[in-house]
Each structure stands twice: as structure tokens, then as C-alpha cells.
Structure 1
Amino acid sequence: MKIYVGHSSGFDFKTELYLPIRNSDLNKHHEIVLPHENSEEPFDSKTYLRSADAMIAEVSFPSTGLGIELGWADMNNVPILLVYREGMKISRSLTVVSEHLVSYRDTDQLITAIDSFLHSLN
């Protein structure tokens, strides 16, 4: 599956999000796009989301750009998993774009949530 991972720039996403995903078995089964893994330049997520099989959105921190990407994914009927750190206050409007909303305590729970969601799409 082609998976796009969206997130805010308001946290250390390379360490807290990208690294756990790259170190997981998810990479053996899916093409995972981490938009700022190798560059800080804007990634053309609008085009990518037209052919993506799923989007994972880390929504612990508010982000206008992520909101726009969620809109593109929703418009293209791309299934969306919203994940957020346990205890964080998130926008209630997120439930409009996806019913798949999962909190996580640590990176193991994060990877398990992503894996379960992707299996549910098969």
C-alpha cells in the first residue's frame, strides 16, 4: 500500500514519528512517504494523495498545513488514521474527516495502531 504520513512541524517528528516508523516492520509491506525525511522543501502531497491508499496523520499539535492535507485526502476518499499522544487536547473537527482516531502512550502503541488500521483496509 502507498501510505502518506502527515504531521505538524511543532515537534521533533524525525525522532518521535519518522524513526519509529522506519524501524518497524511496516516498511516491509508498504511504501511509506515521510514528506520531510530527506528535505525541508515542500512535498507535493496534493498530487501524491490522489493515488495514496491511506493517510496517517499525527494530530497532537495544531497545523494549518496538515489540515489542508487532511482535506485533500478526504476529498480523494483516502482512508485516514488520526493518531495523537495520550493526554493531548485535539480539535473535535478532526472527527469530520475520519472516524479512525487513536491515542497512543508510546511508540510501540503508535506502530500497533498504524498496523491495525492498515490491516483493516485489506
Structure 2
Amino acid sequence: MRIFFGGPLTDLQNPEKTKAFYVKLGEVAKTNGFDYYWAFEHGTDPEHNPDVSASRVYQIDTQELEKSDLMIAYVGEPSTGTGEEIEYAQDHNIPVYLLFEKGKKISRMLLGSPSIKGVIEFTDEADALAQLQSLLQSIKPH
């Protein structure tokens, strides 16, 4: 199974910390036998690849999303791009699981989307990784 990880990349409050968290999410996926895609690791990071056009980013991300069995979206920081990816997943019947910190206010529009199949509300990084581990074990084909 393949996961498309989505999350903010533009105008992050703490880019290094956020991307380090993203890497750890990918490691949990890999440990559980999932293939995965993170845009910032594949040439469309807005900081490291600023010359990639907006239309090319859209094309790459939507192609990669179409190749995926599910989407896990970090929505703890606002991101129109992540929202766009979630809606694209909805249009292509790709289930989405949201990931965000306890206490964060998440849009009811997003939470009400039929594509949202589950929510991981976490207290800290270790809790997020543990809950992701449990989720992946529950949906992994046996």
C-alpha cells in the first residue's frame, strides 16, 4: 500500500522541526511496510526547489496522489495546498486521515468531508508516531 503524506510546506513557523516530524512519519510508514510519498523529499519543496513552477507542483502532487491508496494529512498549520490535496483525494475516492495537535481548531468544513476516514489528535510527537503506528497496523493488508 502507498501513502501520500500531505502537510504545509510554505511559510512554516519552524521548517526544520516540521520537516523532521514529517520524516519520522515516513519512517513509521516504512517500518510498517508502506511505500509513501512526501513532496518535500521529491523536488517540489518551496525552500529548496523555488524554481519549480506552480503548475508543475500541481501536476506532480496530483499524479503522486492518484498513485496512492490513502492520504495522511498533517493539518496542524494552515495550508491551502494541503486543503487542495485533500479535496483532490475526495474527488478520486482516496481515503484521508487527518493528523493534528490536541487543542488545534480545525475547520468544520474539512472535518465534515466524506473523504475523512479518521483523525489522529496527538499530544506530542511521540504520541503522534504511536497513533500512526496503530492506524497503519489496523489498515495494513494481512
TM-score by shorter chain over 0.5? yes
Q: Deviations over 1:22-52 (max 9, x none)?
A: 4x44213011111102532436121122221
Q: Deviations over 1:66-94 (max 9, x none)?
A: 11100111111111110101222211111
Q: How many residues align?
A: 120
Counterpart Cα distance in 1 of 2:28 and 2:136? 12
Q: Which has the larger radius of gyration?
A: 2
Counterpart Cα distance in 1 of 2:95 and 2:138? 10
Counterpart Cα distance in 2 of 1:80 and 1:53? 9
Question: Residue 14 of structure 1 aligns with which residue?
Answer: 19
Q: Which amino acid is 2:80 matched to?
A: T
Counterpart Cα distance in 1 of 2:67 and 2:38? 15
1:110 aligns with 2:128: yes
The one of 36, 39, 46 equivalent to 2:62 is 46
Counterpart Cα distance in 1 of 2:117 and 2:25? 22
**Measured at CA, do residues 75 and 14 of structure 1 come closer, stay the same or move farther in structure 2, by a change above 3 Å?**
same
**Measured at CA, do residues 102 and 46 of structure 1 come closer, stay the same or move farther in structure 2, by a change above 3 Å?**
same
Question: Residue 95 of structure 1 aligns with which residue?
Answer: 111
Q: Deviations over 1:1-23 (max 9, x none)?
A: 110110012242212222x224x
Percent identity between the two aligned chains: 26
TM-score by length of 1: 0.84
Write 1 or 2 for the structure with the bigger share of helix: 2
SS at match of 1:36: helix
**Measured at CA, do residues 26 and 106 of structure 1 come closer, stay the same or move farther in structure 2, by a change above 3 Å?**
same
Which 10-residue stretch deviates more, 68-77 or 102-111?
102-111
Question: Residue 2 of structure 1 aligns with which residue?
Answer: 2
Cα RMSD (Å): 1.9
Which 10-residue stretch deviates more, 87-96 or 77-86?
87-96
Structure 2 unmatched runs, 5+:
50-56
Q: CA deviation at 1:63?
A: 0.9
